[in-house]
Amino acid sequence: MTINGFSLKRYRRTVLPLGLLLLVTVLACLDCGVSISQLWEGMVKGFSFLAYMFPPDWSAFGEMLQPVLESIVIAVLGTSFGTFLSLIFAVFAASNLTHPWIRQITRFLIGFERSIPEIIILLILVAAFGLGAMPAIIALTLGCIGMLGKLLADTIEEIDSVMLDSMTSVGANKLQVVFYGILPQILPNLVTYALFRLEINIRLSVILGAVGAGGIGYELEYAFNMLNYHRAMTAFLLILLMVLGTEQVSNLVKKRIKGREVLL
């Protein structure tokens, strides 16, 4: 079938998926009650609400520096502990290092953790340990295992098996193979993944803080609950600076790593 020089048969691999996607999108919008007019009205109300938040309460800037630092510490500790544990899980989840049934069990545990949002884990931990930074650190640590464990395990499985077999043939045990054969090869990936996860954890620390973990997220939630929108805007600006600053530091470290890889 040809319409004005356009052949449906020729482009069916592109047109049909796009058509199905459009149909599913329309049906989903109808089912959820999505309306363009409601979207526009909501945007107008949102901008008018932002007007209440200006100017920021600059007098609260100094008070919020400690909560910002607390959120950063929570994210850094959660990422550090999680990266270490993820490396252990990755070793057991790699097919070229462990028995198939051990790999399957470890992969199941990694996938199971990845299916549970960090906020759900935090709520369970808050019930067990109470409010504070400790539940948030544990939640972020477990979240790292679900993400980094899979990525590192896949990276380990891509390593040339000939090199690992040669180390084993000269008497190296599993621990020596991991430390001297695998770790040096995956170290750039390990650092890159850990930095990427740190960026995610910085954002998550704000969300978790709003539900009981403390930090700048709690300050933002408290300001909104007290209808102190000027103070809330100050907290929001600090969160923005914290996230952007973390990304810039992460990008600088990644560039240094890539520069060393090129030199090597």
Q: Give the 3-state secondary structure of residue 160.
A: coil
Distance CA 164, CA 158 (A): 12
The predicted pLDDT at position 7 comes to 57
Give the global pTM: 0.77
CB atoms within 10 A of CB 27: 10
CATH topology of domain 58-263: MetI-like fold (1.10.3720)
Distance CA 187, CA 175 (A): 16
Contact between 122 and 61 under an 8 Å Cβ cutoff? The reply is no
Q: Give the 3-state secondary structure of residue 7.
A: strand
Extract the tokens encoding 181.
Answer: 């054969």
- Single-letter residue type at 179: F
Q: Domain ranges in the chain?
A: 2-38, 58-263
Q: List the pLDDT tens digit at each of the 264 positions of the chain.
A: 555 555 556 656 677 778 888 888 888 877 777 777 777 877 787 777 777 778 887 887 888 888 888 888 988 999 999 999 998 898 888 887 788 888 899 889 888 888 888 788 888 888 777 777 888 888 889 888 888 888 888 888 887 777 776 777 777 777 777 777 778 788 888 888 888 888 888 888 888 887 777 788 888 888 888 888 888 888 888 888 888 888 888 888 877 776 665 444
Task: Give residues with Cβ within 8 angstroms of 217, minimum separation 6.
Answer: 71, 205, 206, 207, 208, 209, 210, 211, 239
The predicted pLDDT at position 85 comes to 92
How far, in Å, are 109, 122, 218 from residue 92 at the CA level?
11, 26, 38
Q: Give the 3-state secondary structure of residue 3.
A: strand
The predicted pLDDT at position 64 comes to 84
Helix (H), strand (E) at residue 2: strand 2-3
Residue tagged 């996938």 (tokens): 111
Q: Dihedral sign, CA of 121, 125, 130, 132?
A: negative
The predicted pLDDT at position 251 comes to 81
